[in-house]
Amino acid sequence: MSIVYLNGEFLPVTEARVSVLDRGFTFADSVYEVIPVYNENIFRVQEHLQRLNNSLNAIAIANPFSESQWQQILTDVLKKNPSNSSRSLYMQVTRGVSDREHLHMNDLQPTVFVMSREVREQDLAPGVKVITHEDIRWDYCHIKTTALLANVMLKRKANDADGAVETILIRDGMVTEGAASNVFVVKNSTVVTARKDGSVLPGITRDLLLELLDYAGIQYSEDSVPVSDLESADEVWLTSSSMGVAPVVRVDERDVADGKTGPMWKKVDQLFKEFKSNPGMLK
């Protein structure tokens, strides 16, 4: 039985209870993080905690804990759920419990929830299929909010389209990101991904990949990616904490290049694996 952290207590997940008046439930007034754990190392924990802090600031919730308090909670949750499998940590902070009024009081007690989950390792080498869709989300995609209804609908559409795993989103003719991932396009040996403006989540895996590209001397730019570049790309990759770096071999009804995993992906996948077993390699 998994043991979770809820508001200062560690308890079995089946006993963890949140009020129906919690604003996370009534308004999705809440933010979250998902952090992978590689070889018992909490992956890029400071970066994840910084992004959590940025999301909290953006919606005016005071961060309930210092960085070291958060790290202690995360470590305790892992200790209370010993496992030999790959895992990830899920953390959520809601504004807390109040009457169901849009306007909130400022002195609410945030609800804090942390759990660890086992992660199924995927074989990414064969590549994945994706679909494209208009980006129907709001303009503040830099906030990692649990208001994910559009993302849920977009993932569903992918799944309904004959085994696609992700939906790549298009806004005004430009690729923004995936429903739960960042997107990279490779053309003429240069890697391009969207800028970190409000149209994308500043992905932790995205930033790591850019560092790995730097390390390997591979050219990249952070720029607008027209949808036509997606159609004519040599390679397309998705990045996320859950998947790592996934090669895309088919977009809608078209193969990416020859429909096989490309040589650049093989290189970055190798680098990513090296980093997971030796995070100090980039220092």
Ligand X SMILES: Cc1ncc(COP(=O)(O)O)c(C=O)c1O
Chain residues that interact with ligand X, rule: CB under 6 A? 34, 177, 180-182, 201, 203-206, 239-241
Contact 180, 191 (CB under 8 A): no
- Cα distances (Å, whole numbers) of residue 14 to 11, 263, 283: 8, 46, 42
Residue in 79, 129, 144, 187 annotated catalytic: 144
Minimum distance between the CB of residue 49 and ligand X, rounded to whole angstroms? 12
276 is catalytic: no
Whichever of 181 and 261 has its CB closer to ligand X, that residue is 181
Whichever of 55 and 240 has its CB closer to ligand X, that residue is 240
Minimum distance between the CB of residue 235 and ligand X, rounded to whole angstroms? 18
Minimum distance between the CB of residue 16 and ligand X, rounded to whole angstroms? 22
Whichever of 98 and 205 has its CB closer to ligand X, that residue is 205
Own/partner pairs for 173-178, CB < 8 Å, 24+ apart?
Answer: 173/226, 173/227, 174/199, 174/224, 174/225, 174/226, 174/227, 175/225, 175/226, 175/227, 175/229, 175/230, 176/135, 176/141, 176/200, 177/141, 177/201, 177/203, 178/130, 178/238, 178/240
Whichever of 73 and 168 has its CB closer to ligand X, that residue is 168
- The token duo for 75 is 């470590």
Whichever of 34 and 97 has its CB closer to ligand X, that residue is 34
Residues with active-site annotation: 144
